[in-house]
Amino acid sequence: MKQIVIASSNAGKIREFREMLEPRGYTVISQNELGDVGEADETGTTFRENAVIKAAYITNKFGIPAIADDSGLEIDAFGGKPGVYSARFLGHDTPYEYKNRIILERMENEEVRTCRYVCAIAYTEPGKDPVVFEDTCECLIAREPKGENGFGYDPIIYYEPLHKTMAEMTKDEKNAISHRGKALVKLENWLNEDH
């Protein structure tokens, strides 16, 4: 059983990593299980930079391999925002129910509703350069929130091919098409090449 530390405290992300990696023979450990590790300062301006910062923080602190994902939502009508500030949009501790309502209000008269989830997953280990895998999931901003699954912006993110919001999908449906799911497949393929 191979062990991977996820450099995150986000329960939703940890759950998704477990759902995707544990059936493939990995034991997923969250950084919280290592004790009070603190938080890396996400000073990057791209998802790629922030993913590397978070993974390298754990690797440097404990001398172990780590993976970190930095992901978020880019809304075309907002010029690509909230982007790397998705978690901090309208305040870090602001409930997503409120964030989603504000986005829908601002989008009310917008014809262009295209958006995408973006994910960068970084893998770091002592003495080696970081490796980063990126992918996206093209979607639309829904007209109203729907669904009880997922987390974050999922209730207002509509995926046209399945005619569902991300929050209406089963975990298997979401993991098959999501930005994180696709980036994770790239990481897993790389890990399986004897890295």
Size of the chain, expressed as the number of residues it contains:
195
Q: How far apart are CA 31 and CA 115, in angstroms?
A: 30
Which residue is catalytic, options 36, 69, 70, 154?
70
Which pLDDT score is estimated for 159?
Answer: 97
According to the model, what pLDDT value does residue 1 have?
53
Q: Using alpha carbons only, give the angle 147, 151, 153 rounded to the nearest 5 degrees.
A: 80
Determine the angle formed by the axes of helices 11-21 and 179-191, rounding to 10 degrees: 50
Q: Residue 18 corresponds to which tokens in the numbers above?
A: 């477990």
Backbone angles phi, psi at 136, to 5 degrees: -135, 165
What's the pLDDT score for residue 195?
A: 55
Mean pLDDT of successive 10-residue stretches along the chain, which has 195 residues: 82 84 85 86 93 95 91 97 94 94 96 97 94 97 94 96 96 91 90 71
| pLDDT for res 21 | 82
Decide yes or no: CATH 3.40.50.300 for domain 2-191: no
> Which of 91, 95, 106 lies closest to 155, judged by CA?
95
CB-CB contact of 68 with 51 (8 Å) = yes
Given this model, what pLDDT does residue 23 score?
85
Q: What share of the chain is helix, strand, coil (3-state, %, to 5)?
A: 40, 25, 35
Classified as helix, coil or strand, 95 is: coil
| pLDDT of amino acid 24 | 78
135 catalytic per annotation: no
Is the CB of residue 70 less than 8 Å from the CB of residue 128?
Answer: no
In angstroms, the CA 73 to CA 63 distance is 32
